[in-house]
Amino acid sequence: MDWFYVKGILILSGINLMAVLGLSLLTGFTGLFSFGHAGFMAIGAYVTAMGTMKLGLPFIPALLLGAAGAAVVSFFIGRLTLNLKGDYFCIATLGFGEAIRLILDNVQYFGGARGWPGLPVVTNLTTVVIVDVIGVVILANIIRSRHGRNFKAIREEEMASQTIGINVFRYKMAALMISAAYAGVAGGMLAHLLGFIQPKMFQFIKSTELTITVIFGGLGSISGSVIGALVLTSLPELLRTFASWRLVVYGAAVVFIMISRPQGLMGGTEITFTNIKKLFSRFFRASGEKAGGGGR
């Protein structure tokens, strides 16, 4: 395989990973399903593009501006919708995602539905990898902290966590804002990879893809999200030879894996050094026992 092509897939995986990481905190660790994250990506993309094109900022500050923009919007959305429970929140996010897209279709300042061409193409593998590593480290630290345990507590039993004194609304808000900021960064990087953005790129299907990736990788697992993003972004590329049957095969593969492994690839566990050591020691102890048993 040619490196130029592989590099392209890796960059795209890295961008998707960023959005998936954020969604992982919201869906995987806090238990809130969202079908509107493409909307946050769109905001991130447009705000970042505004930063580089209209305000003349360098790429990284513009990315941060995009993340902040998405987080601010999510704050207002959160105030209105986070009191909704379960499915209702999910539907509210769905509506939000579509609304963002339609608003952008109408804003002629950003080019409307015709899109915004001519953005500087500055996203490369190095920036994506660095941003991803920072993203993973921040998220892992959040999850391991007291706050991380509170997120998980809310996921497991909202009422009980409220009773023991966790401010559920505030934690949900924090999860939503962090995930929106991650999605915003992903959107900004995507915009400066393609050099062109169009509201059409951030359709409902994009949100669904992100949610599928989180569930596919395993809810409540950062390593699962990483693997999920890598596998699900490269899978359609590997299947190119199937031509028009490609997406059917892709869908079938996802269905097959979800049936055979309903908890997702990682299923709530993480790949850490201690876990790998544990796995190996358990594996060797097991085979050792077996061998010993045979000898007797």
The window from 3-11, 32-40, 79-87, 142-150 that contacts other proteins (CB under 8 A) reads 3-11
Determine the size of the site formed for other proteins (CB under 8 A): 50
Task: Tell which one of 87, 109, 159, 244 touches other proteins (CB under 8 A).
Answer: 244
Establish if 246 lies at the interface with other proteins (CB under 8 A): yes
Q: Which CB sits closer to other proteins, 173 or 257?
A: 257
Q: Would you say 115 or 148 has its CB closer to other proteins?
A: 115
Q: How far is the CB of 142 from other proteins (least distance, A)?
A: 25
Q: What is d(CA 200, CA 193) in angstroms, rounded to the nearest whole number? A: 16
> In angstroms, how far is the first alpha carbon of the chain from the final one?
51
Q: Binding to other proteins by residue 5, rule CB under 8 A?
A: yes
CA distances (Å), origin 258, targets 53, 168, 271, 278: 43, 30, 20, 26
Which residues within the stretch 12-31 sit at the binding site for other proteins (CB under 8 A)?
12
Residue choice 63, 139, 227, 229 for contact with other proteins (CB under 8 A): 227
Q: For every residue of 211-264, which 3-state class applies, written as one string? A: HHHHHHHCCCCHHHHHHHHHHHHHHHHHCHHHHHHHHHHHHHHHHHHHHHCCCC
Residue 174 binds other proteins, judged by CB under 8 A: no
Q: How far apart are CA 208 and CA 37, in angstroms?
A: 9
Neighbours of 226 (CB within 10 A): 22
Q: Tell the smallest beta-carbon distance from residue 163 to other proteins (Å).
A: 32
265 is an interface residue for other proteins by CB under 8 A: yes
Tokens found for residue 98: 């579509």
Q: How far apart are CA 260 and CA 96, in angstroms?
A: 33
Could you tell me the smallest distance in angstroms from the CB atom of residue 70 to other proteins?
19
- Residue 249 contacts other proteins per CB under 8 A: no
For other proteins, the binding residue among 57, 257, 258, 270 (CB under 8 A) is 257
Q: Which residues of 27-48 are buried (b: 16+ CB within 10 A; e: fewer)?
A: bbbbbbbbbbbbbbbbbbbbbb
Helix axis angle for 204-217 and 87-106, nearest 10°, is 140
Question: What's the min distance (Å) between Cβ of 223 and other proteins?
Answer: 10
Asked if 119 contacts 195 with a C-beta cutoff of 8 angstroms, the reply is yes
- State yes or no: residue 87 binds other proteins (CB under 8 A): no
236 binds other proteins (CB under 8 A): yes
Contact call for residue 38 and other proteins (CB under 8 A): no
What gap in Å lies between CA 46 and CA 49, rounded to an integer?
5
Please report whether residue 59 would count as binding other proteins according to CB under 8 A. no
Shortest Å distance, C-beta 43 to other proteins: 17
Q: What Rg value do the Cα atoms of the chain yield, rounded?
A: 20
Q: Min. distance of Cβ 105 from other proteins in angstroms?
A: 5
The answer to whether the Cα torsion of 86, 146, 66, 55 is positive or negative is: positive
Give min distance, CB of 180 to other proteins, in A. 21
Q: Which residues bind to other proteins, rule: CB under 8 A?
A: 1-5, 8-9, 12, 101-102, 105-106, 112-115, 117-118, 121, 190, 193-196, 198-201, 227, 231, 234, 236-238, 240-241, 243-244, 246-247, 257, 260-261, 265-267, 279, 282-283, 286
